Structure 1
């Protein structure tokens, strides 16, 4: 019975109960009929038959007894035939009615379990942070109605909690921007004075770096809070175009770090927020450039359309990353303990880059998957619903939106170096 749906199990239980009850009923009817039919004529019947035969034949010889025994045998055969016919037709009728009862049980089970299907469908939809939806089940006050109401209450609490968290992060980020901007302006004005001592300039430069890092941290928190929500105004865009722009922006930092970027960008149309998708790819490229080899480092970016999804794959050289650390890299403020950052070494990252990548991918109904390369570095794959099959993938991407990454075969092959 394992692996079968509740509807099928209920139908089988209904059918089994019906067949068992029918079999007991047939057994009782057979026993009653067997006892009701006389096995042989009684003494009175025997006397009547003999007198009748004697009057017709005019004698009372042995012929009368033989005729009587023949009648008894015929009556016994008729009795057995009657019982057999009753049993056969009862079993046939039980089978036919049982099949019909199974079909009726299937329909009834489906109708009874329909509210559970609504609960399951709602749970799958809200897995993609769509916590504003409710089941709002109508019907009698039974166990299923209690379950639906409890689930709605849980969603209400979760919705309020997530909204409060996002509002807090957004408000705190906005409020903290103003004093940081004022601090940066005051430090820059102070450093522009011609009579500032060298020690003060060094201290001011350090303060500017710290202030810049805090600004990046606040900006990352704001983007992370925004990216966890589904795009409000999605529109068609191409991952290849966004990746080409992100690579162009990262070319300067890659040149300073001695990292070569190659690209093999095939069209990959998706539907979403172009700004968030640009941030996703930019974070991936920046992360790949920052954590790379000191010499002869490289980054490879590929985009393509695969079946019903658009795929962006980014490989980079770098230090060996233990497999146990890969999943933790997508958590906020987590960095690989073995990674060495090369590019833009003067400013330390906020530790939110890959967290933003995962949040943006999930908000667009996609998934991100990273694998540590045996020779060092990472292979990061982002899969998003293809623009033409976005509606078709709604149910398939709900599981992906619930942070269940899917292993995908990584494409092989070189690319064209980006100037």
Structure 2
């Protein structure tokens, strides 16, 4: 039950208890007030039909007093009955009124909390840490809660911005010396007097340099993908997938991997360049973590309120307990940290942050025959029928 419903039920329960106690007290007081008192009538009496009455005497005065006693008994019975009826009707009616009043009061009190909840939900969905609650009510508990939440968002925003700036700046600073190293090694290898040992060493250095450049590019994409996509432009996910598959065809043919595509229209909105990087990482991951004569299946389709990209591939068996770890930076399946030609371990991390920046989700599951099936869901562009 919600807090609002619990508060309303508490108000109704308190009214039921207090109303029952008050009604019982009134009943006892009225009954005590209307009880027969010894000494008001003559002590000579008999019992007829369960009622205490006095012996019928010839004295008219005694007859009048006997009739007054009967009237008193009837009045007592009717009065107590009215008290019981009023309690049975009034208490439930009052409890219902107390429930309604408690419901309304709780809604009024919890209204600022709903603002906090709505703001937290928007921040969680959009990753926009610049939004604030800005509660301007009186200085009390709700004001302190809203201000504490705003302060927490501000600290998180500074922390994430600092982290992204550090990664971006470090990546840019490292890219320049790597470019210089590649140029120097390439020049040294191409010299006419270069020996075979120098050429082999140069080729090894170029491979290491290329891996480092790929790692830096991945860090830049990761830092950029963690930012919320605010400038959303419509595009078709199918066009992006076709472009990526055409580019990956040569590498797939070299590795003897067959690619199958089933691409239906999938309109969405966002940053097309980032989404292209996301699809490229998925396709490259499916091709490189495959075996000769393997297969890759790429599917795009539109569902209710969302579009879906599915990339499946053959390959080694993947344990279910390793599924979540492959989305962490620098994590590879089967402890593979030496096969640098397969990537830097940032591919699926970049996929996840780009999908989340567009308000989407990424899930993966192992195939029974080996390999993975990775599904990306993004919000559909509702302006396209």
The verdict on a shared fold, with TM-score over 0.5 as the criterion, is yes
Question: Within 5 Å, which residues of 2 pair with 1:212-291?
Answer: 212-291=210-289
| CA shift in 2, pair 1:45/1:281, >3 Å | farther
Q: Does 1:104 align with 2:101?
A: yes
Unaligned segments of structure 2, at least 5 residues: 44-55
Q: CA deviation at 1:139?
A: 1.7
Deviates more, 1:18-27 or 1:140-149: 140-149
| Distance of 1:267 and 1:338 partners within structure 2 | 38
Q: Does 1:135 align with 2:133?
A: yes
Asked whether the equivalents of residues 265 and 301 of structure 2 are also in contact (C-alpha less than 8 Å), the reply is yes
Aligned to 1:402: none
| Distance of 2:302 and 2:222 partners within structure 1 | 27
| Distance of 2:134 and 2:370 partners within structure 1 | 52
Asked whether the equivalents of residues 318 and 372 of structure 2 are also in contact (C-alpha less than 8 Å), the reply is yes
- SS at 1:163's partner residue? helix
TM-score normalized by the length of structure 1: 0.84
Could you list the per-position Cα deviations for residues 81-102 of structure 1 after superposition, in whole angstroms to 9, with x for gaps in the alignment?
1111122123312222221221
Asked whether the equivalents of residues 317 and 369 of structure 2 are also in contact (C-alpha less than 8 Å), the reply is yes
| Distance of 1:339 and 1:255 partners within structure 2 | 23
Asked whether the equivalents of residues 268 and 386 of structure 1 are also in contact (C-alpha less than 8 Å), the reply is yes
Runs of at least 4 residues off by over 4 Å: 62-68, 338-341
- SS at 1:220's partner residue? helix
- SS at 1:231's partner residue? coil
TM-score normalized by the length of structure 2: 0.91
Asked whether the equivalents of residues 211 and 340 of structure 2 are also in contact (C-alpha less than 8 Å), the reply is no
Could you list the per-position Cα deviations for residues 13-68 of structure 1 after superposition, in whole angstroms to 9, with x for gaps in the alignment?
1111122112112122222222222436963799xxxxxxxxxxxx9617765664
Aligned counterpart in structure 2 of residue 334 of structure 1, from 314, 331, 337: 331
Asked whether the equivalents of residues 57 and 63 of structure 2 are also in contact (C-alpha less than 8 Å), the reply is no
Count of matched residue positions in the alignment of Structure 1 and Structure 2: 372
Q: Does 1:312 align with 2:309?
A: yes
Asked whether the equivalents of residues 41 and 72 of structure 1 are also in contact (C-alpha less than 8 Å), the reply is no
Q: CA deviation at 1:187?
A: 1.3
Aligned to 1:302: 299
Aligned to 1:11: 8
Question: Within 5 Å, which residues of 2 pair with 1:179-198?
Answer: 179-198=177-196
Q: CA RMSD in A?
A: 2.4
Could you list the per-position Cα deviations for residues 364-395 of structure 1 after superposition, in whole angstroms to 9, with x for gaps in the alignment?
101000001121000100011111189xxxxx
